[in-house]
Structure 1
Amino acid sequence: SIAFPAISTGIFGYPVERCAQVMLHTAALYLKNTHVIKKVIFCLFDETSYSIFSKVMGTL
């Protein structure tokens, strides 16, 4: 397992939707080519971030 925080989406104002696109796309590409990691956890600050990540995940 590995966990990633959505760094800079809080106080630094990096757009959550763009963060979700980058993080989820990168994780999906990596997971297609490995069997070492079984679980990826995205640590999110609030329900809004969760909703955005869920929406983006649905497009992958």
Structure 2
Amino acid sequence: MMLEPSIDKLQERIKSKYTLVTLSSRRARQLTLTKDLQVENPKSFKNVGMALEEIEAGKLHLAKD
């Protein structure tokens, strides 16, 4: 079974796996409450998968201080 998006593609956008997990889990919690999706026609039906698709599409970024 191939998971989409792949970890390699995601790490092109966010280098740290820890940061990737943290960002996607926070976004998944937001999606649970708001259902305000930033990508059209997501492949995943789970919130974490949709959050990862948003990262891959370049819709989510890390806030820089």
TM tier, smaller = 0.3 to 0.5
Superposition TM-score, scaled by structure 2 size: 0.37
Question: More helix by proportion, 1 or 2?
Answer: 2
TM-score by length of 1: 0.39
Where is the strand percentage greater, Structure 1 or Structure 2? 1
Structure with greater contact order relative to length (CA < 8 Å, sep ≥ 6): 1
The structure with the larger Rg is 1
